[in-house]
Structure 1
């Protein structure tokens, strides 16, 4: 265990500051909240990506190194990449984009040495052919009894099993 590993760390989600450059956000944090040590940075899905240009950082090692150095030079670290989205959305274009964003965030986390990616489980349709997501929050009403099982068996378990295998190949220490 490293020295200080048991020390609590305070993090800030940068998403509410998406309209400001990351350097401005970090400078403000250093002045207004000097106890902050960690950042959770939006990297795709529904999260704004103004502070983390994932495609650029994946393909350009020097851009990635410069981005990480900007953060580290202020005594901060990226604690997590946030890629909340709905990779189980019944609209396949949304699902494909959010799945690609999640996988790219996993790849980027591996390259950066970040051990956490924030994601949502996703919300699939309530039945095959539905065009909108359906949150099966309870099955106490007779017409809702089988929705949760269908969602789990058809969409949730197969998708997340595949993502888990992908994450293990790309970044074995990653927490999603």
Structure 2
């Protein structure tokens, strides 16, 4: 068995200090936060993808601390009814998938996202009960109009970057 930690817990530490702390704790793996709500303090996909020297230094530092990357995580809401938030989170997810492919990591951890309850909503709407019927209708619209179409296409994109597992946490 291997033990690891999600690095966003140490966002207040530098990359090197975080690696030192994880190695000193005797852990084997790190799940690197790469965007979305928890941020990207230790793993900035666009920056790493755009600079081969930074990417090599990044990989070398992890290896020198005897750690492996178990996954990249990007916990956002690409289904947010605010188009700006949805776009930013979708772009972060896609950059995370691209970096995962370059690093040989087959999994990205994320949230499913939560759309509004109808086309005109401005806030996410997480429906938690089936009755009255308005709620069931909202859930059906969310799945049919937003969730399924988005994740079908996102899965194809991820697969093109050799991400075979999109791990959805039990959170909208």
TM-score (norm 1): 0.90
Distance 1:128 1:151 in 2: 9
- Please state whether the residue corresponding to 2:165 is helix, strand or coil: coil
Q: Which runs of 5+ in 1 are unaligned?
A: 1-7
1:80 counterpart (71, 76, 80): 71
Name the structure 1 match of 2:113: 122
The answer to whether the Cα contact below 8 Å between 2:79 and 2:146 also exists between their aligned partners in 1 is yes
How many residues of Structure 1 are paired with residues of Structure 2 in the alignment? 166
Distance 1:76 1:174 in 2: 22
- Please state whether the residue corresponding to 2:36 is helix, strand or coil: coil
1:142: Cα distance to partner?
Answer: 2.8
Name the structure 2 match of 1:162: 153
The answer to whether the Cα contact below 8 Å between 1:139 and 1:147 also exists between their aligned partners in 2 is no
Distance 2:22 2:148 in 1: 40
Name the structure 2 match of 1:22: 15
Which has the higher Rg, Structure 1 or Structure 2? 1
- Please state whether the residue corresponding to 1:20 is helix, strand or coil: coil
Name the structure 2 match of 1:138: 129
The answer to whether the Cα contact below 8 Å between 1:43 and 1:49 also exists between their aligned partners in 2 is yes
1:174: Cα distance to partner?
Answer: 2.6
Distance 1:142 1:169 in 2: 40
Name the structure 2 match of 1:9: 2
| Structure showing the higher strand proportion among its residues | 2
The answer to whether the Cα contact below 8 Å between 2:23 and 2:67 also exists between their aligned partners in 1 is no
1:138: Cα distance to partner?
Answer: 2.0
**Structure 1 residues 138 and 39 mapped into 2: Cα distance closer, same or farther (>3 Å)?**
same
Post-superposition, which runs of at least 4 consecutive aligned residues in structure 1 deviate over 2 A?
A: 140-143
Distance 1:45 1:20 in 2: 18
